[in-house]
Amino acid sequence: MSCFVIGDIQGHLDPLPRLLAAAGADPRTDRFWFAGDLVNRGPRNADTLRFVRNLGEQAISVLGNHDFYLLAIACGAIPRGRDDTLSDVLDAPDREELIAWLRHRPLMHVEGEHALVHAGLLAPWTVRQARELAHEVEGALQGPHWVEFLTRLWGAKPTRWSDDLHGADRLRVIVNAMTRMRMCAPDGEMLLKHKGPIASAPAGALPWFKVPDRRSTTHTIVCGHWSALGYHDGDGVLAIDTGCVWGGALTAVCLETREIYRLKCEQAAAPSGWE
């Protein structure tokens, strides 16, 4: 049995079955970790949710920023933007089942020496603390007041962590770090506006994983989200968003061997046995 980690799909389902077949993955016995952002920008969002859901207990998918966006517009917590591609989910006959399934995905998963999260972890957090903080968000999202939680979630402030944070501010920092963060100031403040490569970041800015005294170095942090960074295996991080949504490739990595499998996103033929 192997465990394969897969980068951001964002509704571009077609390459996934072929990629997993090329990796020799077996949906009956192998395990699959998805780094979040299952939906948005691609054409097959509902099918992507069904595909991952149908893998059952073989699959773990953490929540990404686009997944939160879908949940928020589906329940009316925020107005819908003009450039999303989520109509196939919102108009699906099984819409409520898909939304309920997505709402019950974890924000972070920790197993052995690996921690799976969509974007990253703030420097003051240990992996154990981060997992506890993720549980706080999961409790709010899965609880009876989840619409109110999402209504108050949107925004970029506060931009730094404090143990004294509470309420919506506390949950917003956790979600922004784990689903939106790329760069930070040296003191750990999140710089959420920067989305490009490291070379174009503001002077003095650092990738979140290079902020001094980061306490999560006890584990390899597996993440996606940052397509401009691309594949990165170093600094205690395995980053695997290689820009499928932007015409790049979808990447899978076998955790046991670190063997890399990559498929250009126009290579979409799906083999029998997977879809």
Where exactly are the structural domains of the chain?
Answer: 3-264
Structure confidence at residue 86 (pLDDT): 98
Distance of CA 184 to the CA centre of its chain: 18
Is pTM beyond 0.85 here?
Answer: yes
Structure confidence at residue 265 (pLDDT): 86
Strands 190-191 and 183-184: antiparallel
Q: How many CB atoms lie within 10 A of CB 212?
A: 9
Give yes or no for residue 234 having a pLDDT over 90.
yes
Q: Which of 52-56, 119-123, 269-273 has the lowest mean pLDDT?
A: 269-273
pLDDT band for 113, please (50, 70, 90 cuts): very high
Average pLDDT over residues 47-57: 97
pLDDT band for 82, please (50, 70, 90 cuts): confident
Strands 237-239 and 220-223: parallel
Average pLDDT over residues 211-218: 98
Fold (topology level) of 3-264: Purple Acid Phosphatase; chain A, domain 2 (3.60.21)
Average pLDDT over residues 47-74: 98
Q: State the average pLDDT for the chain.
A: 95
Report pLDDT digits (tens) over 133-157.
999 999 999 999 999 999 999 999 9
Give yes or no for residue 244 having a pLDDT over 80.
yes
pLDDT band for 268, please (50, 70, 90 cuts): very low
| CA pair distance 83, 74, nearest whole angstrom | 15
Structure confidence at residue 114 (pLDDT): 98
Average pLDDT over residues 34-52: 97
Strand segments, DSSP code E, in the chain are 3-6, 31-34, 59-61, 108-111, 114-117, 183-184, 190-191, 206-207, 220-223, 232-234, 237-239, 249-254, 260-264
Instruction: Assess whether the previous peptide bond of 271 is cis (omega < 30° from 0).
Output: no
Structure confidence at residue 271 (pLDDT): 43
Q: Does the CA dihedral 269-256-35-183 come out positive or negative?
A: negative
> Do the beta carbons of residue 70 and residue 86 sit within 8 Å?
yes
pLDDT band for 12, please (50, 70, 90 cuts): very high
pLDDT band for 270, please (50, 70, 90 cuts): very low
Structure confidence at residue 228 (pLDDT): 95
